[in-house]
Amino acid sequence: MSQPTNMFSVCMMVVLLAFVKASGHNDTNVCNVTTILTQENFDINQYLGKWYEVKWFPPFTHAPSDIWSDYQTTYEMSNTGNFTVTIRARETPANKTCLVIKNTLYTSDTPGKLMEGTRHQWVIKTDYTSYALVYTCAEFFPNMTCMAHDSKVCSRTTSLPQETLTMLDGVMQSVLCISLAEHVDTPQDKSCDVKTSKGTLPAASLAALMFFLILTRLF
């Protein structure tokens, strides 16, 4: 499926660039994304379903009080043939209210290279039944480096065995330009499987909310 044209994404790119530079983000680990390989023979149908985030490598430093918990993503095929994404996460620090965001997932001609809304989302490695290593990028520079990248380790359950985490750390070191020292463990203490969301937003408002979540935590 092709990516929809969205002028808001252009504005988002400009503001995000300014934010990343102002945040003091360490860009010493920047690499050309054309060298990053995604999961061989990626099968989107096997990838569908629920994934729990267990480890997150943020694009810039976050205070412990800003870390979201019980973060999960569900990928489904809609009645129209598109793919939908439902993200559930618990707000911090004290409120712990579940937030529900829905988005659209777009495929591309390259297996494993997806678009979640306006963000590039690449599945680097997965066995579909237990683990997935995902690389995301808000926008690419013309030289094909990433403006603000992050990565996450996901599981079909709320945890992964240490040997699997160690294996994925090795993949991250050899394939991705992300420091392992920057990782954050995502708490999975209480299910955020609520039945209802907080309503449907107009497209522009949804895009603005997604951008806010990129800067704070959720994306």
Residues of the chain with pLDDT under 50: 1-28, 196-212, 214-219
**pTM of structure:** 0.76
* Cβ(92)–Cβ(65) below 8 Å: yes
Q: Tell me, which fold does domain 7-216 have in CATH? A: Lipocalin (2.40.128)
What per-residue confidence (pLDDT) applies to 102? 93
**By the 8 A CB rule, do 75 and 156 touch?**
no
pLDDT for 195: 52
- Report helix angle 203-216 to 7-23, nearest 10: 20
Distance, CA of 103 to CA of 210 (rounded, Å): 9
Predicted pLDDT of residue 126: 99
Confidence (pLDDT) at 112 = 96
Per-domain residue ranges of the chain: 7-216
Residue 79: its pLDDT value, please?
Answer: 83
Which pLDDT score is estimated for 46? 98
Q: What is the reported pLDDT for 178?
A: 81
